[in-house]
Amino acid sequence: MAPCTLWRCCQRSVGWVPVLFITFVVVWSYYAYVVELCVFTLSGNGENGKAVVYLVAFHLFFVMFVWSYWMTIFTSPASPSKEFYLSSSEKERYEKEFSQERQQEILRRAARGLPVYTTSATQTIRYCERCQLIKPDRAHHCSACDICVLKMDHHCPWVNNCVGFSNYKFFLLFLLYSLLYCLFVATTVLQYFIKFWTNELSDTRAKFHVLFLFFVSTMFFISVLSLLSYHCWLVGKNRTTIESFRAPTFSYGPDGNGFSLGCSKNWRQVFGDEKKYWLLPVFSSQGDGCSFPTRLVGTDPEQASVSNQSESGRSIGSNQPFPIKPLSESKNRLLDSESQWLEDGAEEGVVRPDFEDYPLRVLHALHSEVRTLKVSLLQY
């Protein structure tokens, strides 16, 4: 145990090296911009008004950048609630079984009332042997943090933390404000970079800082721009980085757009409904991280929204297998390895094969949706 504990302590210590590097760069950039550029260069040349404007705008971007970076680093990753953990008796029976089929049967019974709609690639229940829990949809085990993280996106070395449900919004704002910070620094430093480069300004200690400040801010701007663009695309598709490489598996197979409800609703899942909080690094994401709405079967997520506001609280179609409401409010059961669903209102143990009548259920759901639309139009 001692060597293992020592190794993990070393890993955690080394994990702070990238964070310290970013901190050093940010502190140096603050000194270079405020002291060397604004105080010595601008004020030294009589441009006091411009120096004040630059300092006010600079500190605005700087505060928002540091605030979002701090929240991304020190917000603990959200882990599954206790209902996803096996009870002591279930855990004991599971560990005694050597047959995978019997183990899956135990997991199916344990997950009967849980809002889980995705399975492994082999249509088995997603179970974490390390944490001994049934994984909620979109949750994954992080080997670096050694916990299961809700809606895990990735483990980021630059923040020494897992990016997931609890801090994904903070991570996006960190990228946004770091991009704006670098852009502002690069554009305001450019003219003095040219003056120092062409020897229009005399060689001083500020020359070194101004030249390198422009190069560093430009380099980070290009790097962050590509990363932010990629994550904006992921948010629009309602995917995590993990899901972009390996699509989540539903009853009908892998579906990269399984959680996509349309671009607007996808963005609101991350940033929330209240626009006043969108640009602030305060938590405002929708849901609890354990259950997520899924799109309707056969509906293009890039077209019109799945349902209007009045219909957002219920499923469309009496036999619709993929509810558009949060799964925590749904009575639908877990899809097990045999691809079976327990119908609402049916007796315990009465199940329907998933693939046998799947086309009929889809047609019935579409028919119910059209009928509901006709009624809505007539009422309108």
Q: Which residues are catalytic?
A: 156
Q: Which residues contact 181 (CB under 8 A, 6 or more apart)?
A: 61, 62, 65
Q: Give the residue among 32, 24, 22 at the shortest CA–CA distance from 213.
A: 32
Of 299, 308, 298, 322, nearest in space to 265 by CA: 308
Query: Would you mind telling me the total number of residues written for the chain in this entry?
Result: 380
How far is it, in rounded angstroms, from Cα 260 to Cα 296? 9
Nearest to 134 by CA among 155, 152, 112: 112
If one counts every other C-beta atom within 10 angstroms of the C-beta of residue 185, the result is 25
Q: Is 313 helix (H, G, I), strand (E, B) or coil?
A: coil
Name the helix (H) or strand (E) containing 161.
Answer: strand 161-163
Whether the CB-CB separation of 173 and 272 falls below 8 Å is answered with no
DSSP string, 166-221: TTHHHHHHHHHHHHHHHHHHHHHHHHHHHHHHTTSSPP-HHHHHHHHHHHHHHHHH
Which residues, in sequence order, are CB contacts of 266 under 8 Å at separation 6+? 235, 236, 237, 238, 260
Helix (H) or strand (E) holding 155: strand 154-156
Beta bridge partners of 119: 249
Looking at the DSSP assignment, which residues form a beta bridge with residue 250?
Answer: 253
Tell me the two tokens of residue 305.
């929204």
